[in-house]
Amino acid sequence: MKEHELFDVIIIGGGPAGLFSAFYSGLREMKTKIIEYQPKLGGKMHVYPDKMIWDVGGVTPIPVGELIERVVKQGLTFQPEVVLNEKVTAIHKNETDIFVIDTASGQKHFTKMIILAVGGGILNPTTLDVKHADKYSDKTLHYSVKSLRHFKNKTVLISGGGNAAIDWALELEPIAKKVYVSYRKDTFKGHEAQVTELLNSSITCCFHTSITRLNGNITDGVIKSVELTDLSTNTVTELTVDDVIINHGYEREAKLLKNSDLDIRLKEDFFIDGNALSESNIAGLYAAGDILKYDGKVHLIVGAFQDAVNAVNRAKQFIEKEAEEFPMVSSHNELLKERSMELMKQINE
């Protein structure tokens, strides 16, 4: 990385919104950089790589892991510079009205425009607050399901009552030996159809309960049983299990926007209060994906793609006043013409 190198646009976040922004900015011949906090691109989709996703237009049901590969490959089409394992700590402007992005490593990045595509921000799972829980973490105590095969023929307890917990339970039912779900309330808060499917399955639901103890081998990180306490009667039940999955939500880190000198208008003290054109109240600062809020917002991956296109188009016009508001469609774009001919040749061979 060249010191003080100036980019047309820097995209903060390497999930679906950030990657499609990178593709589209390349299509519009903009010098682009992606800064991503995680060690790899793909964003929050890495939390559930084995799940099937059905609602991306024109894409038949596909494992999330495969979708990650596709969006990453597409995002790198025009070879944007990519910085991984880098935490953005603040954004401000210098005396020449250029955006300066400060990072935890001490590096500074310079750009004419910014697209914020940080999703729900840096998400840290809410950990299980019982003695020695950290000793089992990432061994037999899990905060995400990275591989369904890991749980084959095992007895699994899932703690949580939201959509993710219900999804994991239903997907593990045909794979695991036995699945339990512990939830502190008397009704689940997931989608109605999924809740009905769960209640009609072989999965055992333990309402009004909370995990109060993990029993096992701390040295090896192997859980052998879990103590569940009934929150209304204080009755303790011990379940023999092989693995425990915790889905108690995430703690959002909102320091980035709050530490910045720019007076960025927020909603709910966290999200960018923008519009359907992906604009914030700061000229040259755009947003795409879950971090952006506006009337009519679609909180799906397809919505993130539309946000990305709008953000790039507005950004292009911001630095080139004579630029077209919308570029020609990709099938007519000279940058892709040669590649399209190569692909057509491969298809017809």
The CA distance from 48 to 247, in Å, is 12
88 in a known ligand binding site: yes
Which of 282, 303, 305 lies closest to 293 in space, CA to CA?
A: 303
Number of helices and strands in the chain (H, E): 8, 22
72 in a known ligand binding site: no
140 within 8 A of 223, measured Cβ to Cβ: yes
DSSP per residue over 85-113, as a string? S--EEEEEE-TTS-EEEEETTS-EEEEEE
215 beta partners: 225
Which tokens sit at 144? 């995400």
44 in a known ligand binding site: yes
The CA distance from 223 to 220, in Å, is 9
Alpha carbon 168 to its chain centroid, in Å, reads 17
Which of 284, 281, 287 lies closest to 93 in space, CA to CA?
A: 284
239 in a known ligand binding site: no
286 in a known ligand binding site: no
Q: Is 191 helix (H, G, I), strand (E, B) or coil?
A: coil
The bridge status of strand 99-103 relative to strand 108-116 is antiparallel
List the binding residues for FAD.
36, 44, 48, 88, 123, 290, 331
List the binding residues.
36, 44, 48, 88, 123, 290, 331
